[in-house]
């Protein structure tokens, strides 16, 4: 895959929308019409399935947590344009997600960018849809002038994901994912800083890493993410990480045993 080309100056007309605090929350439909200025940097947000899937209570074919083989790698949440003040633009252009435009990427997206929930995601312009529709409409449409269209958006996110392999970066600092051990948060941050060239933002849930974000400038060079104190608005207290954190694994069979007997067993779904 080629790196999405950075288009020259394109003036975009931005349509403002109140941005939700949680990316997983339902996206709001465009309400106001304040123009949104060009973003300052990108955050590539990665999810640690071991943390998220531990609270799975419902399975369906589209939920990555429900595959018979547990996901043991960071998967993609999204590529998010952000502002240096800790806020971000969202739902910038009235263009709807079209699966047809990214069909060649479908297999790779299924593998590395799965939804980890069953519920449909809120979208800006079409109400509810796929996780990918949510990411494109809410964030992708605000990625100009670096990204111009849907295919470029997903291609760029995948390129960055493959180029900067967090699992490999962590193992360069003797941090092995999935072994359930506790690691000092500062070691995790320093290891990424050293291997990647910018400090990551880490979001936790009950002492485990839920998300790890890598940040890039508009030339796609690694840069620091905002420190959590600056980004207070986007990371609530409960998402703060303790001094020692884990990268847990999960057992799809265990998810299955938590089901009502009328629900579909997780293990029926294969990757
Ligand atoms: C990242 O590196 C690990 C360890 O080398 C490998 O198993 C995994 O497939 C890589 N992930 C991606 C997305 O390239
Ligand atoms: C962020 O939170 C920390 C600790 O809760 C606080 O000290 C700091 O002033 C906050 N920063 C902003 C920009 O709100």
Whether 135 sits among the annotated catalytic residues: the reply is yes
Query: How far is ligand 1, taken at its centre, from the CA of residue 165, in Å?
Result: 6
Pocket of ligand 1 (CB under 6 A): 73, 112, 162, 165, 167-168
What residue segments make up the domains of the chain, in order of their start? 41-268
| Ligand 2 contact, 237 CB (< 6 A) | no
**Ligand 2 pocket test, candidate residues 84, 201, 227, 229, most atoms within 8 A of CB:** 229
Whether 194 sits among the annotated catalytic residues: the reply is no
Is 168 buried (19+), middle (13-18) or exposed (0-12) by CB count in 10 A?
exposed
CA angle 19, 21, 24 (to 5 degrees): 100
| Ligand 2 contact, 229 CB (< 6 A) | yes
Q: Could you tell me the mean pLDDT of each successive run of 10 residues in the chain, 271 residues long? A: 34 27 39 72 97 90 91 96 94 94 97 94 90 96 96 98 97 86 94 97 93 98 81 58 92 68 46 38
Q: Is 216 helix (H, G, I), strand (E, B) or coil?
A: strand
Determine which residue's CA is closest to atom 12 belonging to ligand 1: 162
- Rounded Cα gap, residues 54 and 36, in angstroms: 37
**Pick from 157, 63, 70: nearest CA to 108:** 157
Query: How far is ligand 1, taken at its centre, from the CA of residue 216, in Å?
Result: 20
Query: How far is ligand 2, taken at its centre, from the CA of residue 228, in Å?
Result: 8
- Residue 19's pLDDT is 32
Q: Look up the pTM and report it.
A: 0.80
CATH architecture of 41-268: Alpha-Beta Complex (3.90)
- Residue 22's pLDDT is 36
**Pick from 32, 38, 24: nearest CA to 142:** 38
């Amino acid at each position: 895959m080629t790196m999405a080309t950075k288009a020259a100056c394109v003036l975009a007309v931005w349509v403002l929308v109140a941005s939700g605090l949680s990316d997983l929350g339902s996206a709001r439909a465009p309400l106001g019409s304040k123009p949104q200025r060009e973003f300052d940097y990108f955050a590539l947000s990665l999810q640690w399935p071991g943390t998220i899937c531990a609270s799975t209570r419902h399975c369906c074919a589209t939920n990555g947590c429900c595959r018979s083989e547990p996901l043991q790698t960071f998967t993609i949440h999204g590529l998010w344009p952000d502002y240096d003040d800790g806020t971000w633009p969202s739902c910038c252009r009235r263009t709807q997600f079209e699966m047809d435009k990214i069909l060649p990427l479908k297999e790779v997206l299924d593998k590395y960018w799965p939804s980890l929930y069953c519920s449909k995601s809120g979208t800006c312009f079409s109400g509810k849809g796929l996780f990918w529709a949510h990411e494109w409409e809410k964030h992708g449409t605000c990625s100009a002038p670096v990204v111009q269209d849907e295919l470029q958006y997903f291609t760029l996110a995948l390129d960055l994901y493959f180029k900067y392999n967090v699992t490999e970066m962590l193992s360069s600092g003797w941090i092995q994912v999935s072994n359930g051990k506790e690691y000092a948060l500062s070691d995790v941050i320093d290891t990424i800083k050293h291997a990647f060239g910018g400090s990551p933002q880490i979001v936790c849930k009950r002492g485990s890493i839920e998300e790890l974000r890598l940040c890039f400038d508009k030339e796609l060079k690694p840069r620091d993410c905002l420190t959590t104190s600056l980004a207070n608005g986007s990371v609530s207290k409960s998402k703060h990480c303790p001094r020692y954190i884990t990268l847990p694994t999960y057992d799809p069979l265990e998810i299955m045993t938590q089901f009502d007997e009328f629900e579909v067993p997780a293990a029926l779904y294969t990757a």
